[in-house]
Amino acid sequence: MNVHPKANGAYRYRRARALSYFISDGEIVVFNFLTNRSFACNARCLDVLMQSEDWRPLEDLFAMTEEHRTSSLVEEIAQLFSLTALVVEGDLIATKDTEYADTWEWGSVTAQLHFSSQDNLTVSDQMAAEIQILRAKDQPSPQLIRHGDPKDGVALPPFRMDSELKAVMRTRRTIRAFLDHPVELPPIADALYAGLGVTGIVSTEIGDHPLRMTPSPGARNAFEAYIFARNVPGLAENKFYHYAAYEHRLEPVDSDDPLPSMDAMFAENQPWVKKASLLVFLVAHFERVMWKYINGSAYAHVFVEAGHIAQNMMLILSEHGLVVNPAGAISHSLIERAIGENELTHSVVYALAVGYPDREDDSVSWLAPEFKIRDELLAMIRDQKFQG
């Protein structure tokens, strides 16, 4: 039976585990990377934190303040709680903090990077453009490509557009203007399969490793995929589904919480996403990789895996005449709550907004020549293929 700590007559507290410390402007700054709160901490507060390693009854803190007989220490201790440097046993923050201590095996540096980048507001497209224009006045952007010497080295034969695969690869583009058209299940099924479908199993003394069309660090298969169906015949409207990769099935995700809107799932000011026919979310299960790789450098490999999966999905969707807006600027907690991926080591890292392109839209019409090449090429290649 779960007994609330209060039932024993005493609340207990301890120092949060998710803290990092650094010196800035001559002050010691303490940062809780799970709650994203930081504050300057004086020597006395640090002393309180040092003495709060394990759960202690709150009376110990009262005793400490009585000893010093200063009201400022009382205020400082209250601050330590409100800034989540000290946590109270059994409350939500302490529970998350304990989950962090128990499950995050990649150390506090990787944790700080990961958790402090969750749900962080990004600037809107327009603001980002303005910031870049301002910045470029004093400090031009670094070169985005390293030019070679045309007289040096070996000139490579030109890229030959001689297969459907190459034509699809060549004409993939991020498109942010969608037609309000349904997307049928077959291209979605193909895309999910190309990203995460199980094409084989390798059995070792450790267990079975699913193999896919996409590589995975240590064959740890870090990802699960979910889709949010807005306009997909055969699926409920505005509903999340989990892709059960082994069975190649979509399972409805049931939730009592109200559904977030599509544009809320993407970080601020990406309104075009509302017209996408579906969204795909890639959710990392870090513990699968941690289990094998105890070094935090494996954290980066998980994100590389997401890129492989997403690219395969995008190419398949492109082949079907669909377009995709890949997005990293997403509302992590909102999505994770909606799909029930609440474990601390589970994290949505990438989203794809999918639909048919609105070729009349200003943001797409400049791509008309690209679409023309693509359509002609695909028609030609398919024609040749079907004629043998």
Ligand X SMILES: Cc1cc2nc3c(=O)[nH]c(=O)nc-3n(C[C@H](O)[C@H](O)[C@H](O)COP(=O)(O)O)c2cc1C
Q: How far is the CB of 326 from ligand X (least distance, A)?
A: 5
Alpha helix positions (H), the chain: 43-50, 58-68, 71-82, 92-103, 107-116, 125-138, 164-171, 185-196, 262-265, 286-290, 298-319, 332-339, 362-365, 368-386
Query: Strand order of the sheet with strand 56-57?
Result: 56-57, 12-15, 86-88
Q: How far is the CB of 223 from ligand X (least distance, A)?
A: 14
**DSSP per position, 177-231:** -B-S----HHHHHHHHHHHH---EEEE-SS-EEEE-SS--GGG---EEEEEEESS
For ligand X, give the closer residue by CB, 250 or 282.
282
Q: How far is the CB of 171 from ligand X (least distance, A)?
A: 10
Q: How far is the CB of 131 from ligand X (least distance, A)?
A: 15
For ligand X, give the closer residue by CB, 289 or 351.
351
**Contact flags string 324-343 toward ligand X, x per CB under 6 A:** -xxxxx--------------
Which of 49, 43, 62 minimizes the C-alpha distance to 19? 49
For ligand X, give the closer residue by CB, 61 or 222.
222
Which of 257, 302, 311 minimizes the C-alpha distance to 280? 311
* Count of residues in contact with ligand X, rule CB under 6 A: 9
Rule CB under 6 A: which of 126-185 touch ligand X? Answer: 173-174, 176
Rule CB under 6 A: which of 257-276 touch ligand X? Answer: 270
Rule CB under 6 A: which of 298-327 touch ligand X? Answer: 325-327
For ligand X, give the closer residue by CB, 93 or 329.
329
Q: How far is the CB of 110 from ligand X (least distance, A)?
A: 19
Please tell me whether residue 357 binds ligand X under the rule CB under 6 A: no
Q: How far is the CB of 387 from ligand X (least distance, A)?
A: 33
Which of 183, 171, 160, 162 minimizes the C-alpha distance to 372? 171
Gap between the Cα atoms of 49 and 337, Å rounded:
32
Residues lying near ligand X in the complex (CB under 6 A):
173-174, 176, 270, 325-329
